[in-house]
Structure 1
Amino acid sequence: MEDIVTPRPAASPAASVNDRSSGKISETWWRTQSATMALLKHAYRKIGDAEAELARREARIRTLEKLALTDELTGLYNRRGFLAEFRRDMKRMQRLGEEGGLLILLDLNKFKQINDCHGHLAGDKALQLISRTLLKLIRDTDTVARLGGDEFVLFLSNTAENDGQEKAIQIRETLNSLFLKSQGRKIPLETSMGIAYCKTGTDFETVYDLADAALYADKNLP
């Protein structure tokens, strides 16, 4: 009876190489692979670091741009930011064929007296209270800014003149009902206001001068 011979599996090329060279080639291959992987990891880490640094720089740029356009005390637009929004609104209204909007100037009466009698911190709180209230009263399409000191400006875009005047009355009545709490006392706040309607295409300086004249007249009413 013939012996049954089980065939041996064919050796893989790598195994053959291993057998022939006592593992030297295999060891070299693994070292090469390890070095390559280390280089790739280092490269990926460098790319990740570069992307993170780019993201940080972009965030810093956005922060600086925001600071350049906003008022530090109130968080509202400053004059520069407001002008940019006003001109953008004008272009949009002109493109869409909208009629115009209402510019409102207002300032806080007796602001110096509040600072002198109750301290500058109370004056700052008064400005912040007015700012928060104005933001609650306007639409997302409207713009409000602090021009400086106690002077604020609003632009009600795409607003009919009569509707704008009614809104201005509401804003003034709301602001004049505010009280500032300071050292256990309630300090009533009162504002003066000037408004001017501007048709699409009107430049800011023209409509500002009209509203400023109206504000001056309101402040000097007997």
Structure 2
Amino acid sequence: MDRRQRYREQTRQEVKRIALEQLAEHGIAGISVNAIGKRLGVTGPAIYRYFANRDALLTELIADGYHGLADTLEAAIDPAAPPAERTRAVATALRDWAVAVPHRYLLLFGTPIPGYQAPAHTLDAANRAMTALLATAPPDPGPTTVAEPLYGQLSEWGEQLGHNHLTQRQQHWGMTVWSRLHGVLSLEVAGQFSLTGLDPGLLYRAEVEALIAWWE
């Protein structure tokens, strides 16, 4: 990489760093290309030399967020550990990440951004995090009575994302874990437990144990 390329990449990283600061302070609506340009000592339009538009900047922040989350979850997995321990480890890593960077969590899992359509490669990044979660799935214990239409949809979903090596019941378990853990986390990160007197960490751990018992 020559000096010009290094400068370009350094500037791009600086733009994203400032955008994340804006996100943490004011939410998605607070990400301002003009304000970023002012911080860097250039005009707002000059930022478009590095990102085609504001949506392109958001796309990179989203992809970076998913990859960062996936790195965290993958690092938590011990392939030699029993399934229950893998589930606890990944669930703990998920919550730790969400609580540490709530603005990044809400960028990925909060309210959809009006008018924004995520490109396909951000879905690929999101799939890394889901794959890490599915890696904790226990062995399939056998037949189930779950409605056939759901399992048909799970098969299609698994095939699209490359998870078709898992059984439908394992895919169902993974989607259940994803839905229920994010349900608790989204409420916690948004501060919805503040008036309940409940410790969201205890509630989250209880949910993890209930999901582990899902197979019994």
TM-score by length of 1: 0.27
Of structures 1 and 2, the one scoring higher in RCO (CA 8 A, sep 6+) is: 1
Larger radius of gyration: 1
TM-score by length of 2: 0.27
Q: Larger helix proportion, structure 1 or 2?
A: 2
